[in-house]
Each structure stands twice: as C-alpha cells, then as structure tokens.
Structure 1
Amino acid sequence: MWLYAASSLEFNVVVETPFLMMLRPRSGTQQWVSREQYVMSPNASPVEFTDPFGNLCQRLVAPPGRFSVRTSVDIEVADAYDVAPGAPFVEVQNLPDETLPFLLPSRFCEADRFTQLSASLVGGCNPGYDQCMAIVDYIKRTVIYTPGQGQEIISACEVNGRNQGVCRDMAHLGIACCRALSIPARLVVGYLDQLEPMDLHAWFEAYVGGRWYTFDPTQNNPNGGRVAIAYGRDAADVAVYTQFGEPVELLSLDVTVERRSAPPS
C-alpha cells in the first residue's frame, strides 16, 4: 500500500541548543521511499550521518525562539507484516554479526533478569518464532495498552511489575524476554496506519528463521501500513529528537498518516 506520513514538531528554544534528530525513514526490504520533504523553520543547516544501527540522523543547532521541524514522506509499505509459525531458532554461533548487539541487556531491556520468566512462558513451544508469540501473548494478557499515557520511559522490569503501559513499554518487555532466550530483538519506532489515537508508534522485531520478523503486543492482527523510522536496542537509541544543554519546551508534536490509492505522480 501507499502511505503519506508526516510529522510536525515545534519547540520554544531559550538559547542556541544542539539537537540530534531521527526523523527520516530509509528504503529497505519492507518499505520504499518515493518522495520526502524535511523543512526546518528557521533553517538550522543540519548535517546528516548514519548511526551504528543504520538510522539516518540529523545534527543541528537550533536558534533561540520558536523552532519547528516538519517532515513528510510518500512511501510504499506492506499491507500486512509477515508471520512465520515454526520459523526456527538460530543458534548464536550462526547469527550474523550485525544481530549480536541485540542479544545483550540494555538500559531499558534487562534481559539478564528475565531468564526464569521467559523459560516459563515458552514451555512446549518450538524454539524460535513460536517462543516469540508466546511472549507476545503473555504481554497481551498482563499489560493493558494505554496509549498517550507514557511520558516517562520505563524499563522492561518496571512494566512487568505494572498492569499497563504504552507501546514502547510493551515492546521493551518483549525484547527483554526474547533476548533472555538468546533470540536477537530490537526496538522499532515509526508510523502505523489507522493507529488510534494517531501518534508515533513502537513495536519490536526478533531474528528467527534467518531474518527479522515484526511483533506488536498492542495489535490483535498482523497490521501492515508500518513505516519504520529508526531501529535500536531500546528507547535510548531511537529518540526522534534529543536536545542537549538547557531544557527546551516541546510545544507540539503532531503525526499524520493517510492511505493513498496510487503512487505519487
């Protein structure tokens, strides 16, 4: 399917402030960027680089006063994500090098503290994809999805001790449990078509059967219409903006996702 996706961020900047932005999706096997726009007002002369996870990042210094960033993209994406019951576990010694960082505990995904819980959840499951689905089922049973109520970033251990969380929190828990089983797992931030309420969205991917597969504990169906903006070990790696120095007030963050019947002309 074709989507038009846009984001608009507006800040009140007190003094010149360095920013790192992560707002540009890149073309890949699951998405193709046809056209995009990236406008800053006033212009801050950004410099772009690629981080260790392959994300497109923009480095800039925002001037004092009102500062806005507006992005839009016309993009082709899958209308449903792939599912693969029975896809096998890949032994660690056979994993691609680039998946290895996603096996380790990280700031918000304390995989070393989920060994016993994860083992208890997957008893009787075939190693690999089926184990990941058992983890997703556990999250759906025990954590109530509460969109729009997660300003504070919490870790997998914290969300496992609560009965509610936002998409990012639920993904953190899934990632930690997968890693505890030696399944590489990574956080994805992006857009999701028909999300209610509309906002940025987070889910996770796990590496089984020789490739990455999508898992989303907030959804009941393999919903497509996903635009991946950034990948990382957890939320610390995939912030759409990071500012340094004196705090900056975020005045607004608006997201739009619309279906298009045909490629942009």
Structure 2
Amino acid sequence: MRRTLHTTLSGDLAGPLTVYAIVAAAAAYAPTQESLVVTVDGEPADLSQLVGPHGTRLHCFGTEPGTAHPVHFALAYDAVLDGEAPPPLDDPVDLPTYLRPSRYCESDRLGRFARTQFGGLTGAALMEAVSGWVHDNVAYVPGSTGPSHSTLDVLELRRGVCRDHAHLVISLLRARNTPARFVSVWAPGLAQMEFHAVAEAWSDGQWQVLDPTRLAPRRTMVRIATGRDAADSAFLSSYGAGLRLTGYTVRAEVDELPADDHLAPVVLT
C-alpha cells in the first residue's frame, strides 16, 4: 500500500509566540519520502521536533520578542508511505490512563446512559454496538460544533463532526470499563478531505480502530497523534500572542482503496 500525504497551513502571527504543529505521520512509520518546511515572512524558521507518547510528533517554531508584527507563516508537509507501520505497542500504563474521564470525554457522567444502552455487552460486541449506536443516532454535520463542545453537548444535540463522534464512542466505552482513546489521522478515501478523528478501543489484547462516521476505510488511515481526547492532538496550537489561520489544505491519497465493512476488527498500521 502506498499512501501520499500533503498539507499546507498558513496564517499571521501577531506577536512573540510559540507554535506547535501536529501534522506529521507518527514516529512508528518509515516514510519513503518526507519533508516539513516552515517559513516566517518568507525565511526558513528554526524548527524543532518533540516526540510524545505513541510516536506523536510535535514540530515547534515561533517568533522572538522584538520581531516586527504581524508576520506571515507558511507550513508545508509532504510524505510518501510504502507499506504499514508496526501495530501500536502495548504499554501497561495505557489501560488505566484511557479508562479515566478527560476534558472532552465525560465518561463519569455517562454511566447510567451507557448501562441502559449497552448493559451486558463486553469486548467486540460492546465495541460494535457503541460505534453502531453513535453512527445511527448522531448526524455528521460539518461546522455544527466548535472546540468547546463536549460529549454531553453532542449527546444532547445529536449532531457533530468526526471528533465529536470519536469522543462519544470513547466516553461510552470508558463508562463500560473498556479503555478507549482518541486518534487523529490522515484518511485517504475521505470524501471531503480534512484531518480526521477516530477512536481506538482495547479488545482481545490489541488496540482496534473504530470510526462511527464510516466516512473512510480504516485500513488506509495513517496515525498522527494519540491521546485522551482532542486536547492532545490539535493540528496547530499557539501560546503567546495571537495566531490567525488564513490558508489550509489537506490531501491524502492511496494507490488502491480497500473496502471496509465497518464491523470487522481493524488495527491501525
């Protein structure tokens, strides 16, 4: 399988600040080709890389005090991946970590609802039922929610974007004592190309990927970041003065698009 990835991000920086971009394929992959270039007012920016849990790569750049503002930045990432990455490692600390409530996944407030809807189910049957329920009961509506919407908001609205669908699956699984986590991905085959979000749940000794939106085949997806929820995987974040995003393109392609029945267990590789 050959997957080709491309994104450009551009915008204005209003003052001294630090910017973190999380767009690169996770560290477990071995790209055939890869480049990441950042410029600030047309000049190459000093760029550093941090590698976090599960191979999440953060690329850091910014501006210094005394820089005339505003300044324009541009980021371009390109990669070609041949083959697959190894399956995600089993770290024992992951299981208790991904059982706990988190910023967007209020599993501690969904216990009664989860017991009513999914009581008696465990393992693969529970995962299939939760993902199917979210697909059937929460509409995918681009632009319908914002960065402050939590699982409880989405459950009430019954609509959201991919991150909301993933958050709700994660919350319901955690409420039923199943470790679940958030993964941002490149998703070749996605009809309206964007960065995408899915859930991973622990079952039968491995992390299996669930996509309740069913908008792209899971076997084509490329892991970017893994964490408790979307707070751990924003593709662009800034600390200091303001950042205004003015340009944004994402493209992910695969040489052969596989079918996905959305029920069979799939490991993200």
TM-score by length of 1: 0.85
Residue identity opposite 2:34 in structure 1: E
> 88, 109, 119: which one pairs with 2:115?
119
Aligned position for 2:34: 36
- Tell me whether 1:195 sits opposite 2:201 in the alignment: no
- CA drift of 1:241 comes to 1.3
Identity %: 28
Task: Provide the aligned C-alpha RMSD in A.
Answer: 2.2
Unpaired runs of 5+ residues, structure 1, are 82-94
Question: What is the DSSP-based 3-state SS (H/G/I as helix, E as strand, rest coil) of the residue aligned with 1:33?
Answer: coil
**Structure 2 equivalent of residue 21 of structure 1:** 21
Would you say 1:176 and 2:171 are equivalent positions?
yes
- 1:71 paired residue among 71, 77, 81: 77
Q: Give the CA deviation at 1:121.
A: 2.0
Deviation of the 1:27 alpha carbon: 4.8
Q: For residues 215 and 104 of structure 1, what CA distance do their matches in structure 2 show?
A: 19
Could you say which residue in structure 2 is the equivalent of 1:135?
130
What CA distance in whole angstroms lies between the structure 2 residues aligned with 1:54 and 1:119? 34
Residues 26 and 33 of structure 1, relative CA distance in 2, 3 Å threshold: farther
What aligned pairs does 1:236-255 form with structure 2 within 5 A after superposition?
236-255=231-250
Q: Which consecutive unaligned segments of at least 5 residues does structure 2 have?
A: 257-269
Specify which of 96, 101, 106 is matched with residue 105 of structure 1: 101
Q: 1:218 to 1:77 in 2, by over 3 A?
A: farther
1:92 aligns with: none
What is the one-letter code of the residue matched to 1:13? Answer: L
> Given that residues 153 and 169 in structure 1 are in contact (C-alpha distance below 8 angstroms), is that contact kept between their aligned partners in structure 2?
no
Contact 1:77–1:225 (CA<8 Å) still a contact in 2? no
Is 1:166 the equivalent of 2:161?
A: yes
Aligned length: 244
**CA offsets per residue over residues 208-256 of structure 1, 9 Å max, x none?**
1111000000007854210111001001111111101222110011101
- 1:162, CA displacement in angstroms? 0.7
Q: Structure 1 counterpart of 2:228, which letter? A: R
1:199 to partner: Cα distance: 0.7
